[in-house]
Structure 1
């Protein structure tokens, strides 16, 4: 278990560096004086390349966890773990190499699929911390041969919380597409989705532990 977690952690850290390296190259081309809003319009070929690269990254993470685990639930747990590590160390390496972001309130482009996601850096970092906690917790339970039953209610609530978070990242998109500088992040919407998702996960873990003590 610990050996698998060690190698997954190494994978997440290394891939965080690779992601940061790609972004550094792009910023040297399009933002030679440093990244800032409003966005520079890039050509369609490069945009398509970035979209496919992001999709390939998600597929690569899934392929990695599928090689490491047989159970689907363990694969999802490891996927969340890797995603969280990848995202956090992406920002760590950008800070080390570019001294960016200036602060946790600095705005960034987070994702491009199916449309640009934007938000202050603290928001995706908080999601990544939640992913790492949830993924690691599940994997430790799986090591003990204990697997959770995620019923329909959990799945629906989880999807709802995820949609709230995604919506909070996409609401400011209209301003950046109009070549404006984003200023207002719907943090109440974001935190509502994050707390709902966190709460339902913690309740499921608590319910499982409580049932095992009976």
Structure 2
């Protein structure tokens, strides 16, 4: 899937950016813009299907979804690098996502998010293999969700601030005048990425992951202690029985 997405981007850049991708973006037709938007939705649906098929429980399905998303994103950039030698550096600006608004940021930012998702997946699967009942608790979910909103804000704030000079939030959300919105969107040039905001969001994710790991490790240790206690109790009973017999 990473290669398929990178192949589409190669085609688009050959047509619209033969001299290399840069901002402001070249104006594309409404049809191409809508197709690109729908392609992203289709990609998310495919990733969800992978997760639903691969996972047995809800937590496994969640883990496989974020893992698939992360691998897809990393290999997307890897194949672009192999095919067209882009990005030149990890700090090159890119259009990251279009749902529900345009996300922009340096290439390294989504890679950091992907690595975080992979770490969380590996921890979940590790504990699932050790014990069947693994859940992310309410506080950990809150941290993950807040962190995600903060990261999304870092990706979309500059674009939204630019666009809301000309359109209302509702206009942008509903795409009420798609032609005018596209015309303005193609004039946008990102200047400064909100690294502090982004880092804060990532920190929320890492705290949630650490809390989840420590909680499950403690549970695992308690289970091992109980098993060891049961084993010792059984051995003591056997020894007592043998002693009574003799």
Structure-2-length-normalised TM-score:
0.77
Cα distance in 2 for residues equivalent to 1:90 and 1:198: 24
Pick aligned residue for 1:36 from 16, 22, 25: 22
Matched, 1:211 2:219: yes
Cα distance in 2 for residues equivalent to 1:73 and 1:98: 38
Cα distance in 1 for residues equivalent to 2:39 and 2:14: 18
Pick aligned residue for 1:107 from 71, 90, 93: 93
Pick aligned residue for 1:191 from 185, 196, 199: 199
1:77 — aligned with what?
Answer: 63
Pick aligned residue for 1:53 from 39, 53, 56: 39
- Please state whether the residue corresponding to 1:41 is helix, strand or coil: coil
For the pair shown, which has the larger CA radius of gyration, 1 or 2? 2
2:4 — aligned with what?
Answer: 18
Cα distance in 1 for residues equivalent to 2:186 and 2:25: 9
Cα distance in 2 for residues equivalent to 1:183 and 1:42: 22
- The Cα shift of 1:32 comes to 1.4
Cα distance in 1 for residues equivalent to 2:147 and 2:220: 28
Pick aligned residue for 1:164 from 150, 157, 163: 150
CA deviation vs aligned residue, 1:121-161 (integer Å, no higher than 9, x gap):
11000000111111122122212234433222222221111
Structure-1-length-normalised TM-score:
0.88
Deviates more, 1:193-202 or 1:176-185: 176-185
Cα distance in 2 for residues equivalent to 1:170 and 1:70: 34
- Please state whether the residue corresponding to 1:213 is helix, strand or coil: helix
- Please state whether the residue corresponding to 1:115 is helix, strand or coil: coil
